[in-house]
Amino acid sequence: MLIPQLYGRPFLDTLTREFGAAACSYVATAWVRASGVGLLWDSLTDMLDRGGRLRLVAGIDRENTSREGLAMLLALEGDVRVYVRHNEATPIFHPKLYGFRAGEECRVLVGSNNLTGAGLSQNEELSALLVEEAGGPLERSLKAYMRQLRDPADGLARRLDENLLDQLARAGYIESEARLRGKAGNLGPARAAADKLFGSRQPIRRRIPARVPVPRSIEPRPETPVGDWNRVFVKLRLARGTQGQIPLAVAREVRRRLGEVNLDGPFTVIDRHTRAERQISPTFPKRRPDAANTYKIEAMPAKGHAILKLEMVGRRVLAEFFDSADADGHAVHELLIDGLRSEPARTVDPNGAAARRAVGQSLEDATEGVTLYRFD
C-alpha cells in the first residue's frame, strides 16, 4: 500500500497508529529534529510505558539532524537505544525506515519521510507499507539490517549518550534546530506572485501538543543566521559623523565563527580599503560589565547610507565599506531592501521599522536612519 503525504493525510497519523499497536519498533532515518520527535512524543512514550522497545539509528549528514532532536530521543525513558551513523568518506546515510512488530505481524514502512516536522506532516512525501507474518523473511531482514547498521566493527555507528552529543556539537556534526531551520528558509529565490509559474497547495500540518517537552528556541528567529554564511552586510547607524554601531547579534555571530568562547570581546578585521588590521571592540554598560550593549567601528564618511560588509575567509575577517550613493554601494543597499520583501525575510530589521511603515511608504523611506543587516 502506498501512503502519500500532501494528497493524503500526514504520515504522522500512520506512524501514530503503528506505534500504538507495536511491541517492538525499529527506525532508521537520515535526519532527526525536535520538530519531528515532538510530534511523535506521545506515541513513543506510550509504547515505551507499556513495555515496548525502540531501536533507532539516525544519520548526521548534510547538516540536517539537530542537537535538540537527538537530545529529545535521549530523554525518552524505557527500553530505548539510539545510535548515530556517519561515514567520513562520501556515502550519505539516507534511509527512511519504520519497522514494527505488532501481534502476529511484522509491518515495515519505507519511503521518503524523515523524522522531522516537515517529513511527518508538511512535505510532499511517499512511503509504502509492507506486511508479513511475524518471524518471516520481512522481519528477519529487518532485524538483520538494523543489526548491520548498529555494528561497531566498521566504526560508522556509535551509541548516543550525553557525552557523545556534546562532542558532535563541538565538532560541528550537528547544529541547533533554529539555525538549521533558518538555513532552510533561506534556500531558493523569493518570487513575486506575478512571477510564479506553478500552483500552491497547503499541506495538512500537525502541531506539537503544548504538553510535549520540546526544547526552547527550535524556531528560527529573524536574527538567527544560517549555519554556513560567509558574509554579512550591515547598514550602519552612524553617531558623531562616522562612528558605526554594529548590532550585537552580528558581532557575536562573527565571534562564534571565529571560535571565541566568551559571549563578548574584541575581534580583528582586515580593512579591504587600507589593508590594515583593525579591532572591533564592544562597549559595556556600567550596570552589566559582563555583557556588551553594542560594538563600534569607525566608518568612512558617506553621502548616502554607510554599509559595512564583513566576510569570513578561513579564520580571518575582511571588512569593506560601501556608500549607497555610489554604484556598488547602491547595489548592496538594494540587496538589503530586497531581503525585507522575501518570505521569510532575509534582512533583519531589529527595530521593526519596515513592519510599521505607513500605507504607500517605500521600504527605503521606512528604514531611513535605522540599522539593517543580512547574513548571506
What would the DSSP string read from start to end of 264-328? Answer: S--EEEEETTT--EEEEEEE--TT-TTS-SEEEEEPPP-SS-EEEEEEEETTEEEEEEEETTSHH
Please state the pTM of the whole predicted model. 0.71
User: What is the pLDDT, as a whole number, of residue 287?
Assistant: 80
User: What is the pLDDT, as a whole number, of residue 195?
Assistant: 81
User: What is the pLDDT, as a whole number, of residue 176?
Assistant: 87
User: What is the pLDDT, as a whole number, of residue 190?
Assistant: 61
User: What is the pLDDT, as a whole number, of residue 132?
Assistant: 98
Other Cβ atoms within 10 Å of 270 Cβ, number: 16
Q: Are 138 and 60 in contact (CB under 8 A)?
A: no
Burial 60-91 (b: 16+ CB within 10 A, else e): bbebbbbbbbbbbbeebeeebebbbbbeeeee
Query: In which element (H, E) is residue 83 found?
Result: strand 79-85
Q: Domains in the chain, ordered, with CATH? A: 2-184 (3.30.870.10), 231-375 (2.40.330)
Question: Which cell goes with 33?
Answer: 529534529
User: What is the pLDDT, as a whole number, of residue 224?
Assistant: 63
User: What is the pLDDT, as a whole number, of residue 218?
Assistant: 79
Which residues touch 128 (CB under 8 Å, ≥6 apart)?
A: 1, 2, 3, 109, 110, 111
User: What is the pLDDT, as a whole number, of residue 223?
Assistant: 61
User: What is the pLDDT, as a whole number, of residue 222?
Assistant: 58
- Type of residue found at 314: G
Could you read off the pLDDT tens digit of each residue along the chain, which spans 376 residues?
999 999 999 999 999 999 999 999 999 999 999 999 999 999 999 999 999 999 999 999 977 899 999 999 999 999 999 999 999 998 999 999 999 999 999 999 999 999 999 999 999 999 999 999 999 999 999 999 999 999 999 999 999 999 999 999 888 899 888 878 766 655 555 666 778 899 989 999 999 999 999 987 777 665 666 666 899 999 998 887 788 899 998 999 899 889 888 889 999 999 998 999 999 989 998 887 778 988 999 888 889 999 999 999 988 999 999 999 999 999 999 999 999 988 778 899 988 899 899 998 999 999 998 999 999 8
User: What is the pLDDT, as a whole number, of residue 229?
Assistant: 83
- Asked, as a colleague might, if the bond just before 95 is cis with ω within 30 of 0, I would say no
Read off φ and ψ for residue 152, nearest 5 degrees.
-80, -5
With CA atoms as reference, report the closest residue to 100 among 122, 129, 75, 80. Answer: 129
SS3 for 24-82, per residue?
A: EEEEEECCECHHHHHHHHHHHHHHHHCCCEEEEEEECCCCCCEHHHHHHHHHCCCEEEE
